[in-house]
Amino acid sequence: MTASFLTFPTFDIERSGVRIHGRIGGRGAPLLLLHGHPQTHAIWHRVAPALADRFTVVAVDLRGYGDSGRPAADADHLAYSKREMALDALAAMQHHGFERFGVLAHDRGARVAHRLAADHSAVVERMLLLDIAPTLAMYENTSEAFAKAYWHWFFLIQPPPLPEALIASDPVRYVRGVMGGRHAGLAPFAPEVLAEYERCAAIAGTAESICEDYRASATIDLAHDRIDLAAGQRLVQPLRVLWGEHGAVGKAFDVLALWRERAADVSGRALPCGHYVPEEAPDELLVEALAFFSSPPHSDHPGHPGATP
């Protein structure tokens, strides 16, 4: 992991009995970073130090991942709904005194960010999402090519306990299989960061949490999305979407067209990488993020007094 990222202070908060773990560093307008599957906040190690020169960066582990808590499953998958995860992220930002902020999010974290912006539009100033289309649109427009590339979407939502048992039997193999099976294999991942993903995947309860995350996305999260659509609700924040030109999302979906159905102000493009944008194309991502989030620090965003790494 990039050494300077390790100097960012860690923090832990509790919301509704669930511990949320993260790091904070930098000074300036607040910027929330949300990671994807099967990773942790460590995905940002190549971009967070440079972002912290301009922003107060808050990188959290989603519930069920990293060193955050792993609440028990429930019949309706509510504990792992993106609505609950969004409330975790909001609580983390409010804990540090931030009532409005930008969001940079990848994969599962980007789905959490979508729900955060939909449910709490006043707190999200602008949002940069990496390598996703809207969840409902992806399920409703699944093709053979997408199903083959994103096989884990359909494996993880199978009834317990089979998916959990298979993952828990060899969590390192699961992490390496999922991440290494994409465009660039395991080459983009720093050995110490890959080891961190593997450590966290082996924490008791992780297999159950991962499955519940995806079961929620295929059930309660879709119900929430359909309610938004029926009400004509669209995201009002400036939204930029980037995806990997070698990844499945851009090949299987018209990413910008689908987001323009869900948001009023959308821009974006493909980057020369696969799915894991923060680790495969950190320099290109930094250029994009600094340009998109660039604005003078607001008077109500002085930065966290103890955050400078």
Mean pLDDT of the chain: 94
Give the torsion through C-alpha atoms of 93, 94, 96, 102, to 10 deg.
40
Say what the pLDDT of residue 308 is. Answer: 39
φ, ψ (nearest 5 deg) of residue 171: -60, -30
Q: Is the pLDDT of residue 298 over 90?
A: no
Cα separation, 198 vs 83, in Å, equals 27
Task: With cut-offs at 50, 70 and 90, classify the pLDDT of residue 295.
Answer: low
Confidence band of 149 (pLDDT split at 50, 70, 90)? very high
Average pLDDT over residues 10-19: 98
pLDDT bin (cut points 50, 70, 90) of residue 2 is confident
Any idea which residues carry the catalytic annotation?
Answer: 107, 275
Please check the confidence at residue 309 and state whether its pLDDT lies above 50: no
Order of strands, edge to edge, in the sheet holding 239-244? 10-15, 18-26, 55-60, 29-34, 101-106, 124-130, 239-244, 266-271
Identify the band that residue 1 occupies on the pLDDT scale cut at 50, 70 and 90.
confident
- pTM of the predicted structure, to 2 decimals: 0.95
pLDDT at site 203: 98
Section 169-189 average pLDDT = 97
Does the pLDDT of residue 116 top 70, yes or no? Answer: yes
pLDDT at residue 268, as a whole number: 98
Per-residue pLDDT tens for 41-96? 999 999 999 999 999 999 999 999 999 999 999 999 999 999 999 999 999 999 99
